[in-house]
Amino acid sequence: MGATVPTLYEWAGGGQALNRLTGVFYDKVRGDPRLEPVFRGMSGDHPMHVAAFIGEVFGGPKLYSETFGGHSAMIRHHLNRHLTEPQRRRWVALIVDAADEAGLPDDPEFRSAFVAYLEWGTRLARLNSQAGAQPELNEPMPHWGWGVPGGPYSPSSGA
C-alpha cells in the first residue's frame, strides 16, 4: 500500500496558511516604495482572493474559479498594468519573505515548487500587463505540483 502524496495546498497548511501568507505579504506591499503604487487602490479582500487563487493552483478547493472568475479573471486583472521587471522581482522577494514569516513549510521540496510557481506566474503576469498584450483568456486554471521527477531529496541517499 503506497503513501498518498499531499498536494502543495495540503503541505502548505491549507487555506488558513495561505491566508496568513497573503496577509503578511500585502502588509509588506503597503510599505514598499516599488509595489505600493501598484496596489494602492486594492480592496481589503484582495489578500483573500490571492490566497484562494494560489490555493486552487496548489490543489486546494476551486474557490477562486467558482467565486471570483477563474484564471481568465486573474489574467484580466493584470491587463494594461505595465508591470516592470524590478516590480516583478520585488513581488517575488516579498512573498518569499512573507512565506518565512507566515510559517509556511521551509523544506527544500516545498520551497522549490513554491518559488517555481511564483517565477512562472509573475513572469506571465508581467507579460500580460504590457501594452498590446493579447493573452488567451480561455486558458484553464493552472495546477502546480511537486515537479520533482525523481521524488523528494533525501539527505541519507545523497540524491
CATH code, 45: 1.10.490.10
Q: What is the tally of structural domains in the chain?
A: 1
The predicted-structure confidence for 106-119, as pLDDT tens digits, reads as follows: 999 999 999 999 99
Note whether residue 106 is domain-resident: yes
Residue 105 lies in a domain: yes
* pLDDT score recorded for residue 3: 73
pLDDT number for residue 157 = 38
Amino acid identity at 101: E
Whether the predicted pLDDT of 155 surpasses 60: no
Mean pLDDT calculated for residue range 143-152: 67
Check: CB of residue 12 under 8 Å from CB of residue 37. Answer: no
Full-model pTM:
0.88
Alpha-carbon separation of residue 68 from 53, 76, 77, 129 (angstroms): 9, 12, 11, 19
Whether 1 is in a domain gets the answer no
Domain that holds residue 44: 8-128
Mean pLDDT for 143-150 is: 74
pLDDT at 147: 81
